[in-house]
């Protein structure tokens, strides 16, 4: 396989993981497990952004590095709307709270809105990522 083929496979792998995480978030919401919804929403964005960075040849081992690169390459340059950068940051912090802080609670109304926002971002940004692959 060529390097380009490997990169495309990797990008599509991460895009698939983003969609799977979003589907999992919906299931967790139906079950009323809000901390798990937050976790899955964050990972949906994390995988989506990882795919976008892979197109640029970037691969990071730390969540903070992925976040920093996303803002540098996409948010600050205007390639991604700042509202999506803010959403990523909100879920980055909320996921950390939900995973590591005991007895944290989340507002279901806020989470439902975040779910809709993540759906919109995945829909819009995955198309752009696929276009970047063809360039």
**119 falls in which pLDDT band (50, 70, 90)?**
very high
Cβ atoms of 35 and 106 closer than 8 Å: yes
Domain residues of the chain, as ranges?
A: 3-133
* Cα torsion angle, 92, 98, 101, 107, sign: positive
| CATH topology classification for 3-133 | 1.20.120
pLDDT for 21-49, tens place per residue?
999 999 999 999 999 999 999 999 999 99
**78-92 confidence digits (pLDDT tens):** 999 999 999 999 999
pLDDT value at residue 87: 98
- Burial class of residue 92 (count of CB atoms within 10 Å of its CB; 0-12, 13-18, 19+): middle
Q: Is the pLDDT of residue 3 over 60?
A: no
């Amino acid at each position: 396989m060529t390097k380009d083929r490997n990169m495309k496979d990797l990008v599509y792998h991460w895009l698939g993981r983003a969609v799977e995480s979003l589907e999992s978030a919906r299931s967790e919401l139906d079950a009323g497990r809000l901390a798990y919804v937050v976790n899955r929403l964050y990972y949906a964005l994390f995988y989506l952004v990882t795919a976008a960075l892979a197109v640029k040849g970037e691969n990071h081992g730390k969540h903070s590095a992925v976040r920093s690169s996303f803002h540098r390459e996409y948010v600050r340059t205007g390639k991604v709307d700042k509202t999506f950068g803010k959403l990523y940051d909100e879920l980055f912090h909320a996921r950390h709270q939900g995973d590591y802080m005991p007895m944290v609670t989340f507002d279901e109304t806020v989470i439902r809105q975040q779910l809709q926002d993540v759906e919109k971002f995945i829909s819009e940004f995955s198309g752009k990522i696929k276009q970047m692959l063809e360039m």
